[in-house]
Homo-oligomer: A and B are copies of this chain.
């Protein structure tokens, strides 16, 4: 069999499979532990990542081919997660909360960006990068704008709250945030490379992302249900699941090629397939698949955390921790403000605000670009990592606590 080839050359597949097995077992065990102490399972998966990551056990590979492989499986995990969220999303409800989501997203980008930029450009702070202050301030602002739809969606889904108006607004706003994040990413990458900011370039990136989502959903909702009415008549086994999965992969890739983000394509694929007559079967069969790959994503996010940055006994860490504390306060305050951005929506504003707090991996990516381009020094980079970690770890228990007291959302 092909497996013999692993003894001959190429990837050391056995070791890689062992790492995946360890990731899955740790994710489920710590997820279970989290649930037993009243926390959402995703928090346990993040902690599993920290434990398996370079700071503690070093089981999750940090570089080379094994790391790339884990990265691909993690991508598959976040793709399946967004696909599942898309499948569960009621498009009509989504449109109803659309204006509220847009308001929340815009305020949730503008306020944190402004706070971060102002802090770094005008307020006193202990550490500085090698680049000029304005560029660094743009980066600090940008890293504060991100929202990790993955974390919040998993928590809401684990709590069985995906159909609440708060959840719809948050998911909508987080997806819009991803579109804005994409635009910001191209801008900050340009800034890091020393380019001037072009309004035309910004508008084009924005247009592509919005256009892709719009065209895909409108065309898809018309054509794809007809296609799946044909596919369902095929005899080969699990044909619906395989075509649905291939559709999600294909639309994700198309989104990326069109200059948008993979996960926007995956979310669009779910939205489109939620309009098919075979929607129930697809959702039921996608779920076990997602349950395997999604934890790999959260574990790999947790594994990117460097615990040494949190050691207060080291003098080098103290300045970093101070900056981190300020950034964290700004990050949380900025996103909480977003909860009050849609005064006409009859929702619990604090829930919406808290739902927007986790920065997750988007913040890490911004920070990484800044570090590699030399705009952010190691200290500032470390502080941003701590901010990303704290916002990511704080939101799940906070959401859980907020949802516990009342079963029905308050008006």
Contact = CB atoms under 8 A, between A and B. Distances in A.
A274 interface: no
A292 B241 contact: yes
Interface stretch (A27-35, A103-111, A217-225, A397-405): A27-35
Interface in A30-61: 31-32, 35-36, 41
A55 to B, nearest CB: 19
Contacts of A3: 75, 78-79, 252, 256, 261-263
Interface string A274-307: 0000000000010111011001010011000000
A72 B69 contact: yes
A358 to B, nearest CB: 12
A88 to B, nearest CB: 14
A2 B81 CA distance: 13
Interface stretch (A7-15, A196-204, A346-354): A7-15
A17 interface: yes
A52 to B, nearest CB: 13
Interface stretch (A133-141, A242-250, A375-383): A242-250
Contact of A261 (B1, B69, B246): B1
Given A25-B246, A75-B3, A182-B4, A252 B14 contact: yes
Nearest to A239: B28
A1 B361 contact: yes
A369 B220 CA distance: 48
Interface in A144-200: 148-150, 178, 181-182, 185, 189
A180 to B, nearest CB: 12
Nearest to A41: B236
Given A2-B74, A14-B257, A32 B252 contact: no
A18 B27 CA distance: 29
B71 A17 contact: no
A261 to B, nearest CB: 5
A234 B173 CA distance: 33
Contact of A68 (B10, B35, B185, B289): B10
Contacts of A4: 181-182, 185, 261, 362, 365
A27 to B, nearest CB: 8
Contact of A10 (B1, B7, B25, B71): B71
A295 to B, nearest CB: 7
A313 B399 CA distance: 71
A242 B24 contact: yes
Contact of A238 (B238, B291, B365): B291
A143 to B, nearest CB: 13
Contacts of A300: 2
A92 interface: no
Contacts of A7: 185, 256
Nearest to A81: B1
A259 to B, nearest CB: 9
B295 A242 contact: yes
A77 to B, nearest CB: 9
A111 to B, nearest CB: 21
A181 B8 CA distance: 14
A408 to B, nearest CB: 23
Given A2-B297, A21-B249, A261-B4, A14 B65 contact: no
Contacts of A69: 68-69, 72
A7 B249 CA distance: 16
**Top 4 A-B residue pairs of the complex, sorted by shortest distance between their CB atoms:** A14-B256, A3-B262, A238-B291, A18-B253
6 contacts: A1-B78, A1-B362, A8-B369, A11-B72, A21-B247, A288-B289
